[in-house]
Structure 1
């Protein structure tokens, strides 16, 4: 694995672990964007937080990397409806301008592509 790809791997892993920890430190942030049609909002926030932490660590383990990367992709797809809900409902997350909910949406594709990069076999 090239040095830039390795650095980006560690950056991605750290991003998910820290994001997962935030689900426990500040669940109210995530409660704001939960679509009303989903049940058990707080439980889903904690479950997704655990998933981010576990997958963020697992992506660093070579034999688990591909599976963890696919898991991150699945997680990003699973939480996308909450981001769409926040944008379409003009949710002001933590007092920020609701436009930021729209800005977040394209980043989902970037994060999916970033994780997908680690599903590819090494050259």
Structure 2
């Protein structure tokens, strides 16, 4: 089981690094569709700044999932899970405001995507859990 958990952690970490790099480069416009209006209304930041900041956070989290020593992985998993929870309102906003991005061009597709956020949270927690003794 430890090998499967390690593979899951590495896959999640690599996926986060890729997503973060895409925030910073080729998919910035797509990610702007997920920035809730409330964020830019409450904070003096642009949608682009939110996208860039979340991209940096994803690269850092992905790198931490890949490189954290055994004793720190559980903490990194909790931070990653919290990050996935924190960005969930962006997915809800995309669905509520019917914003097309990443091929999510129907209400059903956008709603279905919402179901995957709890999976990411569970994945982050499970893949960084220490082995049972």
TM-score w.r.t. structure 2 length? Answer: 0.83
Kept in 1, the 8 Å contact 2:73–2:129? The answer is: no
Structure 1 residue 89: Cα displacement: 1.5
Q: How many residues align?
A: 123
Residue among 78, 82, 91 paired with 2:86 = 78
In structure 1, runs of 5+ residues without a counterpart are none
Q: 1: distance between equivalents of 2:18 and 2:129?
A: 25
Corresponding residue number in structure 2 for 1:53: 59
Corresponding residue number in structure 1 for 2:4: 4
Quickly say closer, same or farther: Cα 1:113–1:94, change in 2 above 3 A: closer
Structure 1 SS opposite 2:37: coil
Corresponding residue number in structure 2 for 1:112: 121
Deviates more, 1:54-63 or 1:86-95: 86-95
Q: Over aligned residue pairs, what C-alpha RMSD do you find?
A: 1.7
Corresponding residue number in structure 2 for 1:89: 97
Quickly say closer, same or farther: Cα 1:96–1:84, change in 2 above 3 A: closer
Structure 1 residue 118: Cα displacement: 3.5
Quickly say closer, same or farther: Cα 1:37–1:120, change in 2 above 3 A: same
Kept in 2, the 8 Å contact 1:76–1:112? The answer is: yes
Q: 1: distance between equivalents of 2:104 and 2:115?
A: 18
Which contiguous aligned blocks of 4+ residues in structure 1 show a shift greater than 6 angstroms?
none
Kept in 1, the 8 Å contact 2:34–2:90? The answer is: yes
Quickly say closer, same or farther: Cα 1:55–1:95, change in 2 above 3 A: closer
Quickly say closer, same or farther: Cα 1:7–1:119, change in 2 above 3 A: closer
Kept in 2, the 8 Å contact 1:58–1:64? The answer is: no
